[in-house]
Chain A
Amino acid sequence: QQQVKQSPQSLIVQKGGISIINCAYENTAFDYFPWYQQFPGKGPALLIAIRPDVSEKKEGRFTISFNKSAKQFSLHIMDSQPGDSATYFCAARFSGGYNKLIFGAGTRLAVHP
Protein backbone atom coordinates (compact mmCIF):
# COMPACT_ATOMS: atom_id res chain seq x y z
CA GLN A 1 0.00 0.00 0.00
CA GLN A 2 2.97 2.27 0.46
CA GLN A 3 4.30 1.60 -3.01
CA VAL A 4 4.41 3.89 -5.97
CA LYS A 5 4.85 1.91 -9.17
CA GLN A 6 6.70 3.63 -12.00
CA SER A 7 7.14 2.66 -15.62
CA PRO A 8 8.98 2.32 -17.89
CA GLN A 9 12.31 1.54 -16.28
CA SER A 10 14.13 3.14 -19.20
CA LEU A 11 13.08 5.25 -22.15
CA ILE A 12 14.79 6.33 -25.33
CA VAL A 13 13.32 9.29 -27.20
CA GLN A 14 14.49 11.23 -30.21
CA LYS A 15 15.15 14.94 -29.86
CA GLY A 16 11.90 16.83 -30.26
CA GLY A 17 9.77 13.86 -29.28
CA ILE A 18 7.46 13.42 -26.31
CA SER A 19 8.64 11.50 -23.27
CA ILE A 20 5.93 9.92 -21.14
CA ILE A 21 6.53 8.35 -17.74
CA ASN A 22 3.73 6.76 -15.75
CA CYS A 23 3.15 6.17 -12.06
CA ALA A 24 0.41 4.44 -10.08
CA TYR A 25 -0.38 4.27 -6.39
CA GLU A 26 -2.79 2.50 -4.06
CA ASN A 27 -2.86 4.54 -0.88
CA THR A 28 -5.52 7.27 -0.89
CA ALA A 29 -3.74 8.99 2.00
CA PHE A 30 -1.25 10.53 -0.43
CA ASP A 31 -1.87 14.25 -0.92
CA TYR A 32 1.06 15.57 -2.94
CA PHE A 33 2.75 14.10 -6.00
CA PRO A 34 6.12 15.56 -7.03
CA TRP A 35 8.41 14.55 -9.85
CA TYR A 36 12.15 14.70 -9.30
CA GLN A 37 14.93 14.86 -11.87
CA GLN A 38 18.31 13.39 -11.02
CA PHE A 39 21.51 13.79 -13.01
CA PRO A 40 24.42 11.40 -12.40
CA GLY A 41 26.31 12.30 -9.24
CA LYS A 42 23.68 14.79 -8.12
CA GLY A 43 20.80 14.71 -5.70
CA PRO A 44 17.18 14.64 -6.85
CA ALA A 45 15.81 18.06 -7.78
CA LEU A 46 12.13 18.95 -7.80
CA LEU A 47 10.85 19.32 -11.34
CA ILE A 48 7.11 19.77 -10.97
CA ALA A 49 4.44 18.73 -8.48
CA ILE A 50 0.68 18.38 -8.31
CA ARG A 51 -2.03 18.00 -5.68
CA PRO A 52 -4.90 15.54 -6.24
CA ASP A 53 -7.55 18.24 -6.60
CA VAL A 54 -6.01 19.25 -9.95
CA SER A 55 -6.09 17.08 -13.09
CA GLU A 56 -3.23 18.72 -14.95
CA LYS A 57 -0.35 21.06 -14.28
CA LYS A 58 1.97 22.49 -16.88
CA GLU A 59 5.31 24.22 -16.42
CA GLY A 60 7.11 24.97 -19.64
CA ARG A 61 7.72 21.73 -21.49
CA PHE A 62 6.76 19.60 -18.48
CA THR A 63 3.18 18.51 -17.76
CA ILE A 64 1.74 16.31 -15.04
CA SER A 65 -1.54 14.58 -15.79
CA PHE A 66 -3.37 13.27 -12.73
CA ASN A 67 -6.23 10.75 -12.72
CA LYS A 68 -7.53 10.53 -9.17
CA SER A 69 -10.11 7.81 -9.82
CA ALA A 70 -7.54 5.58 -11.50
CA LYS A 71 -4.84 6.51 -8.94
CA GLN A 72 -2.42 7.25 -11.73
CA PHE A 73 -0.30 10.20 -12.71
CA SER A 74 2.14 10.79 -15.50
CA LEU A 75 4.88 13.15 -16.60
CA HIS A 76 4.97 14.38 -20.17
CA ILE A 77 8.08 16.08 -21.50
CA MET A 78 7.30 17.88 -24.71
CA ASP A 79 9.98 18.67 -27.30
CA SER A 80 12.46 16.46 -25.44
CA GLN A 81 16.06 17.67 -25.53
CA PRO A 82 19.38 15.86 -24.97
CA GLY A 83 19.77 17.96 -21.82
CA ASP A 84 16.65 16.25 -20.42
CA SER A 85 18.58 12.97 -20.30
CA ALA A 86 18.43 12.02 -16.62
CA THR A 87 16.65 9.72 -14.21
CA TYR A 88 13.13 10.77 -13.29
CA PHE A 89 11.40 9.73 -10.10
CA CYS A 90 7.77 10.13 -9.26
CA ALA A 91 6.90 10.35 -5.60
CA ALA A 92 3.95 10.62 -3.28
CA ARG A 93 3.63 12.16 0.15
CA PHE A 94 1.41 11.09 3.02
CA SER A 95 -1.06 13.74 4.12
CA GLY A 96 -0.36 15.08 7.58
CA GLY A 97 3.10 13.57 7.60
CA TYR A 98 6.49 15.20 7.84
CA ASN A 99 7.24 15.25 4.12
CA LYS A 100 7.84 11.50 4.03
CA LEU A 101 8.06 10.86 0.32
CA ILE A 102 7.56 7.45 -1.21
CA PHE A 103 9.53 7.28 -4.44
CA GLY A 104 8.94 5.25 -7.54
CA ALA A 105 11.74 3.09 -8.89
CA GLY A 106 12.86 5.70 -11.41
CA THR A 107 12.97 6.00 -15.19
CA ARG A 108 16.24 6.50 -16.98
CA LEU A 109 15.53 8.79 -19.93
CA ALA A 110 17.93 9.13 -22.85
CA VAL A 111 17.15 11.73 -25.49
CA HIS A 112 19.09 11.12 -28.66
CA PRO A 113 20.02 14.01 -30.95
Chain B
Amino acid sequence: EPEVTQTPSHQVTQMGQEVILRCVPISNHLYFYWYRQILGQKVEFLVSFYNNEISEKSEIFDDQFSVERPDGSNFTLKIRSTKLEDSAMYFCASSELGRGRTGELFFGEGSRLTVL
Protein backbone atom coordinates (compact mmCIF):
# COMPACT_ATOMS: atom_id res chain seq x y z
CA GLU B 1 0.00 0.00 0.00
CA PRO B 2 1.41 3.41 -0.92
CA GLU B 3 2.47 5.53 2.02
CA VAL B 4 3.92 8.89 2.94
CA THR B 5 7.46 8.54 4.24
CA GLN B 6 9.27 11.06 6.44
CA THR B 7 12.86 11.53 7.50
CA PRO B 8 14.36 11.85 9.98
CA SER B 9 12.16 10.10 12.51
CA HIS B 10 13.76 12.14 15.30
CA GLN B 11 16.03 15.16 15.20
CA VAL B 12 17.61 16.95 18.12
CA THR B 13 18.93 20.44 17.46
CA GLN B 14 20.19 23.47 19.31
CA MET B 15 18.07 26.61 19.49
CA GLY B 16 18.84 28.90 16.57
CA GLN B 17 19.91 26.14 14.22
CA GLU B 18 18.29 25.42 10.88
CA VAL B 19 16.36 22.20 10.43
CA ILE B 20 15.06 20.53 7.29
CA LEU B 21 12.42 17.84 7.55
CA ARG B 22 11.87 15.69 4.50
CA CYS B 23 8.85 13.91 3.13
CA VAL B 24 8.12 11.71 0.15
CA PRO B 25 4.39 11.99 -0.60
CA ILE B 26 2.40 9.28 -2.35
CA SER B 27 3.46 9.33 -5.97
CA ASN B 28 0.21 10.27 -7.74
CA HIS B 29 -0.83 12.86 -5.16
CA LEU B 30 -0.85 16.52 -6.09
CA TYR B 31 -1.53 18.27 -2.78
CA PHE B 32 0.91 18.33 0.09
CA TYR B 33 0.65 19.47 3.67
CA TRP B 34 2.55 19.92 6.89
CA TYR B 35 0.85 19.59 10.24
CA ARG B 36 2.41 19.58 13.66
CA GLN B 37 1.51 18.13 17.05
CA ILE B 38 3.04 19.46 20.22
CA LEU B 39 3.35 16.65 22.75
CA GLY B 40 -0.03 15.79 24.22
CA GLN B 41 -1.85 18.42 22.20
CA LYS B 42 -3.97 18.45 19.06
CA VAL B 43 -2.75 18.24 15.50
CA GLU B 44 -2.42 21.72 13.95
CA PHE B 45 -2.38 22.76 10.30
CA LEU B 46 0.76 24.54 9.13
CA VAL B 47 0.66 24.79 5.36
CA SER B 48 -0.73 23.34 2.16
CA PHE B 49 1.17 23.24 -1.14
CA TYR B 50 -0.05 22.73 -4.67
CA ASN B 51 1.40 23.33 -8.08
CA ASN B 52 4.74 24.39 -6.61
CA GLU B 53 3.38 27.12 -4.43
CA ILE B 54 1.84 27.61 -1.02
CA SER B 55 -1.94 27.51 -1.31
CA GLU B 56 -2.79 28.18 2.31
CA LYS B 57 -0.90 28.68 5.56
CA SER B 58 -1.73 29.16 9.20
CA GLU B 59 -0.64 31.92 11.55
CA ILE B 60 1.91 29.45 12.99
CA PHE B 61 3.68 29.34 9.62
CA ASP B 62 5.67 32.55 9.96
CA ASP B 63 8.80 33.75 8.16
CA GLN B 64 10.93 31.17 9.97
CA PHE B 65 9.20 28.40 8.05
CA SER B 66 9.43 27.56 4.37
CA VAL B 67 8.43 24.64 2.18
CA GLU B 68 9.83 23.40 -1.06
CA ARG B 69 9.42 20.62 -3.56
CA PRO B 70 13.00 20.45 -4.82
CA ASP B 71 12.37 17.57 -7.20
CA GLY B 72 9.55 15.36 -8.37
CA SER B 73 9.37 13.29 -5.23
CA ASN B 74 10.48 15.19 -2.12
CA PHE B 75 8.63 17.81 -0.12
CA THR B 76 10.55 19.62 2.59
CA LEU B 77 9.83 21.83 5.58
CA LYS B 78 12.62 24.16 6.65
CA ILE B 79 12.78 25.97 9.95
CA ARG B 80 15.45 28.66 9.66
CA SER B 81 16.20 29.44 13.28
CA THR B 82 14.60 26.97 15.63
CA LYS B 83 13.04 28.02 18.92
CA LEU B 84 12.26 25.93 21.96
CA GLU B 85 8.55 26.12 21.13
CA ASP B 86 9.18 24.49 17.75
CA SER B 87 9.66 21.19 19.56
CA ALA B 88 6.86 18.99 18.23
CA MET B 89 6.01 16.07 16.00
CA TYR B 90 5.77 17.28 12.41
CA PHE B 91 3.51 15.32 10.09
CA CYS B 92 3.64 15.47 6.34
CA ALA B 93 0.46 14.55 4.47
CA SER B 94 -0.63 14.28 0.88
CA SER B 95 -3.89 13.94 -0.98
CA GLU B 96 -4.93 13.19 -4.51
CA LEU B 97 -7.69 15.76 -4.44
CA GLY B 98 -7.58 19.20 -2.93
CA ARG B 99 -9.43 22.44 -3.17
CA GLY B 100 -13.14 22.12 -2.65
CA ARG B 101 -13.07 18.37 -3.01
CA THR B 102 -13.07 15.72 -0.37
CA GLY B 103 -9.65 14.18 -0.76
CA GLU B 104 -8.46 11.87 1.97
CA LEU B 105 -5.28 13.03 3.67
CA PHE B 106 -2.65 10.36 4.09
CA PHE B 107 -0.26 11.17 6.92
CA GLY B 108 3.30 10.03 7.38
CA GLU B 109 4.57 8.67 10.67
CA GLY B 110 6.02 12.02 11.64
CA SER B 111 9.38 13.58 12.42
CA ARG B 112 9.94 14.40 16.06
CA LEU B 113 11.87 17.63 16.49
CA THR B 114 13.47 18.39 19.82
CA VAL B 115 14.98 21.86 20.25
CA LEU B 116 17.38 22.27 23.16
Q: Which residues of A contact B (CB under 8 A)?
A: 32, 34, 36, 41-46, 49, 51, 89, 91, 93, 95-106
**Chain B residue contacts of A98, Cβ below 8 A:** 31, 48, 50, 55-56, 98-99
Q: Which residue among B55, B105, B108, B110 has the maximum number of chain A CB atoms within 10 Å of its CB? A: B105
Assess the A32–B41 pair: CB atoms within 8 A: no
Q: A36-B107, A93-B102 are in contact. List 10 more A-B contacts (CB 8 A).
A: A97-B99, A98-B48, A99-B31, A99-B48, A99-B98, A100-B48, A100-B58, A101-B43, A105-B41, A106-B42
Cα–Cα distance between A43 and B112 once the two chains are bound (Å): 11
Cα–Cα distance between A30 and B56 once the two chains are bound (Å): 16
Q: Is B72 engaged at the interface, CB distance under 8 Å to the other chain?
A: no
Assess the B100–A45 pair: CB atoms within 8 A: no
Assess the B99–A46 pair: CB atoms within 8 A: no
Q: Assign chain B's interface to a size class.
A: 20 to 34
CB-based nearest A residue for B49? A98
Q: How far is the CB of A29 from chain B (nearest CB, A)?
A: 12
Cα–Cα distance between A103 and B46 once the two chains are bound (Å): 12
Assess the A44–B56 pair: CB atoms within 8 A: no
Q: How far is the CB of B56 from chain A (nearest CB, A)?
A: 5
Cα–Cα distance between A44 and B41 once the two chains are bound (Å): 13
**Chain A residue contacts of B65, Cβ below 8 A:** none
CB-based nearest A residue for B55? A98
Q: Is B88 engaged at the interface, CB distance under 8 Å to the other chain?
A: no
Assess the A102–B102 pair: CB atoms within 8 A: no
Assess the B42–A99 pair: CB atoms within 8 A: no
Closest 6 CB pairs of A and B: A43-B107, A98-B48, A103-B43, A98-B55, A98-B56, A103-B42
CB-based nearest B residue for A96? B100
Assess the B109–A102 pair: CB atoms within 8 A: no
Contact of A49 with B107 at beta-carbon distance under 8 Å, contacts A98-B50, A99-B95 already known = no
Q: How far is the CB of A37 from chain B (nearest CB, A)?
A: 11
